[in-house]
Amino acid sequence: MNEWLTDFGMFLAQVLSLVVIGGLVVAVVVKARGEVGERTRLRIEELNTNREYRRRRLTMAASEPGERKRLLKGFRKDDKSRGRRGRKGKAEPRQTVWVLDFHGDLRASATGRLGEEVSALLDAADEGDEVVIRLESAGGLVHAYGLAAAELDRLREAGLRTTVCVDKVAASGGYLMACVADQLRAAPFAVLGSIGVVAQLPNVHRLLKRHDIDVELLTAGRYKRTLTVFGENTEEGREKFREDLEGIHELFKRYVAERRRHLDIEAVATGEVWYGSEALEKGLVDALGTSEAYLAERMKDARVIGLKLEPKRKLGERLGMAVSRGVERAVERGLEVLDASRWQKR
Q: Is the pLDDT of residue 34 over 50?
A: no
- What is the pLDDT, as a whole number, of residue 37? 47
Candidate ranges 43-47, 169-173, 307-311; pick with highest mean pLDDT? 169-173
Which residues does 133 contact at the CB level (< 8 Å), separation at least 6? 99, 100, 101, 102, 152, 162, 163, 164, 165, 181
Cα separation, 209 vs 222, in Å, equals 24
DSSP state of 244: H
Cα separation, 95 vs 72, in Å, equals 29
- Between strands 183-186 and 287-288, the pairing is parallel
How far is the CA of 320 from the CAs of 33, 191, 316, 326, in angstroms?
Answer: 21, 36, 6, 10
Q: Are 193 and 273 in contact (CB under 8 A)?
A: yes
58-77 pLDDT, tens digit each? 888 888 787 877 887 787 87
75-100 pLDDT, tens digit each? 787 777 766 555 555 555 578 999 99
Query: Which residues are the active-site residues?
Result: 172, 224
Q: What is the pTM of this model?
A: 0.75
The pLDDT-based confidence of 197 (bands split at 50, 70, 90) is: very high
The pLDDT-based confidence of 343 (bands split at 50, 70, 90) is: very low
Q: Which residues of 245-282 are buried (b: 16+ CB within 10 A; e: fewer)?
A: eeebbeebbebbbebbeebebeebbeeebbebebbbee
Cα separation, 8 vs 246, in Å, equals 73
Cα separation, 2 vs 203, in Å, equals 71
DSSP state of 270: T
How far is the CA of 246 from the CAs of 158, 178, 285, in angstroms?
Answer: 32, 22, 25
Taking alpha carbons only, the member of 254, 263, 279 closest to residue 171 is: 279
List the domain boundaries for the chain.
Answer: 40-51+90-194+272-311, 198-261
Taking alpha carbons only, the member of 289, 286, 294 closest to residue 259 is: 286
| 40-51+90-194+272-311 fold | 2-enoyl-CoA Hydratase; Chain A, domain 1 (3.90.226)
Cα 42 from chain centre: 15
Phi, psi of 93 (to 5 degrees): -65, 135
Cα separation, 138 vs 346, in Å, equals 48
